[in-house]
Amino acid sequence: MARKQARPRATHEATLDILDKTCRSCGKRLQMARHGHRKVTTLEGGYHLTLKLYRCPNAECARYHQMCRPEEEGRWALPHSEFGLDVIALVGTLRYQQQRSIVQIHEELKRRGVVVAQRTVTDQLYRYEELLALHLADPDRLREKLREQKQVIVSLDGLQPDVGHEVLWVLRDCCSGEVLLARSLLGATENDLAPLLQEVATLCKTLDIPIAGVVSDGQQSIRNAVARALPGIPHQLCHFHYFREAAKLMADADRHAKKELKKLVRSVRPIERALEGRTDEEAEAVRGYGLAVRSALTDDGQPPLDAAGLRLRERLQAIDTSISRIGEKRGFQMRSFGSNSSFKRD
């Protein structure tokens, strides 16, 4: 789609020159050829870059008349890109660290004064992922990180910031915690995941470090992809997923217990309605207990290590004990949560 409006005018100017004016092939001094011009949008504003371009005058040189561009140009922006690296880094940070959507990222850039179309935000996110993938897959960096290890145990998991968006698949070494590969995919089938595992296998072969095993959840497509891409390599469920499956019956029972406990406190809302308009001390105290009950109902645990049903029972028991203690001091008796909670004086 063609641009509907002109780009904003640059508010800053900078001139870039090459650092070494000697030809790397023949050693002769480079000659000034012409000036190049670029417009780059950064978080600090729009820049008009003037580039001093040189070329080798030696007709016998292999780099004869090949244009030499300033080395500093790569610090500003990617080739053929109109947005600076700081904009790309911000887009990636907002997306994967703060879990913001494309629309929210677009609004944040506009708030910072960056004039950009929403579809361009998606393009910059792709550039971020490409740069991140290049950094993570750098053989020299990984060789330095993994040189003391004799094996690699690959963990595979997918991260989906928002429902309906692409899933970021991350392959990590369990021993060092180093990310071996990260890539966004629209699907999660065997055909989608097998190439990722094959790419990691090729990388480990290049580094001369064998893959000793694979750890993932129990998703069938992942199992098939591992069996296809890494035949003969052990594959097991991660400890959390294994324990979750082992405790599934207990977690189901806890979930049912929480459901039954919720039924016992459904009368909280009618009691709160009956207190509308009252500002006395007793009414405020009852409202406080109602708020405590509501807070307990919305406090979910993380099964199987943190059972939500047991936590709810403990909190409701503490509330019930507190109410009973106050009732005894003031000469009241309170019915349990199992009936319509009310007070009566002895």
Which of 198-207, 258-267, 281-290, 331-340 has the highest mean predicted lDDT (pLDDT)?
198-207
Buried b (16+ CB within 10 A) or exposed e, 242-277: eebeebeeebeebeebbeebeebbebbeebbeebee
| Residue 210 CA from chain centroid, whole number | 29
For residue 180, which of 223, 209, 160 has the smallest C-alpha distance? 209
Cβ-in-10-Å burial (0-12, 13-18, 19+) of 330 comes to: exposed
Count other Cβ atoms within 10 Å, centred on residue 10: 16
Task: Report whether pLDDT(341) > 50.
Answer: no
One-letter-per-residue 3-state SS of 181-201: EEEEECCCCHHHHHHHHHHHH
Label residue 343 by pLDDT band (50, 70, 90).
very low
With a pLDDT cut of 70, the percent of the chain lying above it is: 90
Residue 7 CA to residue 132 CA, distance in Å, equals 28
For residue 125, which of 161, 173, 73, 76 has the smallest C-alpha distance? 161
Are β-strands 332-334 and 343-345 bridged in parallel, bridged antiparallel, or unpaired?
antiparallel
What is residue 202's DSSP assignment? H
Residue 162 near residue 101 (C-beta atoms within 8 A):
yes
Per DSSP, the residues of 34-76 read EEEEEEEEETTEEEEEEEEEEEB--TTSTTBT--B--TTHHHH
Least confident interval from 19-33, 116-130, 147-161, 324-338: 324-338
- Average pLDDT value for the chain: 83
Are β-strands 45-55 and 167-173 bridged in parallel, bridged antiparallel, or unpaired?
unpaired
Residue 43 CA to residue 330 CA, distance in Å, equals 65
pLDDT tens digits along 53-77:
999 999 899 888 889 999 999 899 9
What are the DSSP E strand ranges found in the chain? 12-16, 31-42, 45-55, 152-159, 167-173, 179-185, 211-216, 235-237, 332-334, 343-345
For residue 148, which of 201, 209, 204, 199 has the smallest C-alpha distance? 209
Predicted local distance difference test score (pLDDT) of residue 1: 52
Residue found under tokens 């004039």 = 115
pLDDT tens digits along 103-144:
999 999 999 999 899 999 999 999 998 888 788 777 788 888
122's CB contacts (< 8 A; 6+ apart) are 102
pLDDT tens digits along 28-62:
899 999 999 999 999 999 999 999 999 999 989 98
What is residue 77's DSSP assignment? B
